[in-house]
Amino acid sequence: MKFTIIGAGGTGGVLGGYLAHAGNDVTFIARGRHLAAMREKGLLIRTNHRGDILVPNVRACTMEEYEKSGDTPDVLFVCVKYYSLPDAIALAKHCAGKETLIIPILNVFGSGAVMQEELPGLTALDGCIYVFAKIAEPGVIAQPQSILRVFYGFRPGQPQTLAKKAQELEAIMRAADIHAHFTDQIQRDALTKFSFVSPMGAAGLYCGAKSDDFQQPGEVRETFVGLIREVQAIGEAMGITFDRDLVANGLKLMDAFAPGLTTSMQRDVEKGGPSEFAGLVDRIVALGQKYHVATPLYAKISAWGHEKGLA
């Protein structure tokens, strides 16, 4: 299959890098110094479990260059921040075809449905990823944790005309050492992931906490657990039956992290740029109101964030 990865940061860089290293046809959409370094030296992924993964001769370009190329991928992975989703939708309108699987791998729950509404006639699935990685320097991705799991699938009632291709994709990704799961319960699986990344991001930002702060008893860990329970309550109000204890699952994942790690939302806020606060915090408040579920912790953090000008 021919892959295009929109966004070559911690998520897209690892996902596309693993696929390319396994011999697949991958094009990265990137920008700035990161793009220039990839063109000059290739893409390097530094891991603690596999050593360095170098992908030389990377095919990388800007969105504008890709639009002019006329290329149509089999799979379009959207790995941007939620605030950049409109740009990804605009690119998909130009390059995706009827046989293209569009798979958003964003932190925010329900991104696929948002894309589908803007892309009639195309196929936008929902997806999520478990990975801890970031750009260490231009052309270099640091992946300090071995976790790399991708879930994707069709939403309830969505036409499954590309189901065969989606199934074949699972095997290709697994051959690239990506633990891929083509699931028939993507809303459950995506909200399960969201029940970890959203509370982690919200509590980390609000408390100014790093991973080791979450791993010991105290306010940070209690806030994290309380936020998970609010997400779980919303999922249950939506009619989702979870296949695991979300609190136990979140604590297990968190306790496996190396010390000193922060979330991408924290790093974005520290840089003074846009963040995913609206998608990771305000969205839960809105869903709570929609499904008549109390979300006092999220509401408190949302109000704090708006006072700080984060949304």
| 220: CATH | 1.10.1040.10
State pLDDT tens for residues 167-176. Answer: 999 999 999 9
> Looking at the structure, do residues 180 and 226 belong to the same domain, yes or no?
no
> Looking at the structure, do residues 86 and 109 belong to the same domain, yes or no?
yes
Mean pLDDT of 40-47: 97
Counting beta carbons within 10 angstroms of the beta carbon of residue 177, is it exposed (0 to 12), middle (13 to 18) or buried (19 or more)? middle
Neighbours of 242 (CB within 10 A): 16
pLDDT at 311 over 80: no
- Domain end: 164, 184, 204, which one? 184
First-to-final CA distance of the chain:
39
CATH number at residue 165: 3.40.50.720
Amino acid, single-letter form, for residue 304:
W
For the ranges 176-190, 263-277, 282-296, the lowest mean pLDDT is seen at: 263-277
Mean pLDDT of 46-50: 93
From the centroid of its chain, how far is CA 146? Answer: 16
Q: Please report the pLDDT score of residue 67 as a whole number.
A: 93
pLDDT at 180 over 80: yes
Q: Please report the pLDDT score of residue 107 as a whole number.
A: 86
Percent with pLDDT over 90 in the chain? 92
> Looking at the structure, do residues 172 and 251 belong to the same domain, yes or no?
no
212 φ, ψ to 5°? -70, -20
Q: Please report the pLDDT score of residue 142 as a whole number.
A: 97
273 confidence band (pLDDT: 50, 70, 90) = confident
Q: Please report the pLDDT score of residue 78 as a whole number.
A: 98
Counting beta carbons within 10 angstroms of the beta carbon of residue 63, is it exposed (0 to 12), middle (13 to 18) or buried (19 or more)? middle
pLDDT at 36 over 80: yes
> Looking at the structure, do residues 100 and 206 belong to the same domain, yes or no?
no
> Looking at the structure, do residues 114 and 247 belong to the same domain, yes or no?
no
State pLDDT tens for residues 66-85. Answer: 999 999 999 999 999 999 99
> Looking at the structure, do residues 228 and 151 belong to the same domain, yes or no?
no
Q: Show the domain range for 72.
A: 2-184
At CB < 8 A and 24+ separation, what contacts does 204-207 make?
204/262, 204/263, 204/265, 204/266, 205/263, 205/265, 205/266, 205/269, 205/277, 205/301, 205/305, 205/310, 206/301, 206/304, 206/305
In whole angstroms, give the CA distance from residue 220 to residue 210. Answer: 9
297 confidence band (pLDDT: 50, 70, 90) = very high
What is the residue-averaged pLDDT of the chain? 95
Q: Please report the pLDDT score of residue 252 as a whole number.
A: 94
Q: Please report the pLDDT score of residue 21 as a whole number.
A: 97
Mean pLDDT of 34-57: 96
Q: Please report the pLDDT score of residue 110 as a whole number.
A: 86
233 confidence band (pLDDT: 50, 70, 90) = very high
> Looking at the structure, do residues 218 and 177 belong to the same domain, yes or no?
no
Beta carbons of 73 and 95 less than 8 angstroms apart: yes
Our count of domains for the chain comes to: 2
- Domain end: 121, 149, 184, which one? 184
Count CA atoms within 13 Å of residue 160 on its CB side.
Answer: 13
> Looking at the structure, do residues 180 and 194 belong to the same domain, yes or no?
no
1 confidence band (pLDDT: 50, 70, 90) = very high
Q: Please report the pLDDT score of residue 261 as a whole number.
A: 87
> Looking at the structure, do residues 149 and 233 belong to the same domain, yes or no?
no
Q: Please report the pLDDT score of residue 258 as a whole number.
A: 84
pTM: 0.88
> Looking at the structure, do residues 49 and 109 belong to the same domain, yes or no?
yes
> Looking at the structure, do residues 176 and 264 belong to the same domain, yes or no?
no
State pLDDT tens for residues 92-139. Answer: 999 999 999 999 999 899 899 999 999 999 999 999 998 989 999 999
> Looking at the structure, do residues 26 and 170 belong to the same domain, yes or no?
yes
- Domain end: 132, 165, 184, which one? 184
Q: What share of residues in the chain are helix, strand, coil (percent, to 5)?
A: 50, 20, 35
In whole angstroms, give the CA distance from residue 303 to residue 297. Answer: 10
